[in-house]
Amino acid sequence: MARTLQSELRTSKPFGSLEQEAMLSLARTAAQLDHDMLDALKPYGLTPTQYNALRILRGAGSAGLCRNEVRDRLVAWVPDATRLLDRLEDTGLVVRGREGEDRRFVRARITRKGVDLLARLDPVITKLHDKQLGHLGRNKLRALIGLLEDARDRG
């Protein structure tokens, strides 16, 4: 049986509201999942945000994306997408270039080195996600995805 958040946090005091308990439970779960991801990526010299950016650029294909397009597609907000791409370029995983008539427009593309790294990481991350969430089963995962979508849709 799963432990309650109250027992994990070793508190006997009840939460102020269901919303507070849900928020804290979501934050605690995200922190645990993020920690696992950090550990999985560490041997490859990547952060979760760098990994996310590489996956975005792999999905963009040879057309690449400009900095703002990468920034807008990231799972977690970053204050400076330029520095994120700088670090990936410094490691040879991404290349950037100015093209077209507007020389201010810079496209980022994943390199062969970046594609190869992701190919090595794909089974590692798939195995990690299965370990983290596979025990829930398809129906609970679909329900969880739906609940999280509802939580993000505050409109």
- Give the domains, in start order, of the chain with CATH numbers: 19-128 (1.10.10.10)
pTM for the structure as a whole: 0.88
Cα distance between residue 91 and residue 49, in whole Å: 15
Question: Which pLDDT tens digit goes with each residue over 39-87?
Answer: 999 999 999 999 999 999 999 999 999 999 999 999 998 989 999 999 9
Q: CA 79, 151, 132: angle at the middle one, nearest 5?
A: 80
Candidates 45, 125, 127, 124; CA nearest to 88 is 45
At 4-48, the pLDDT tens digits run 878 778 888 888 999 999 999 999 999 999 999 999 999 999 999
pLDDT reported for residue 15:
86
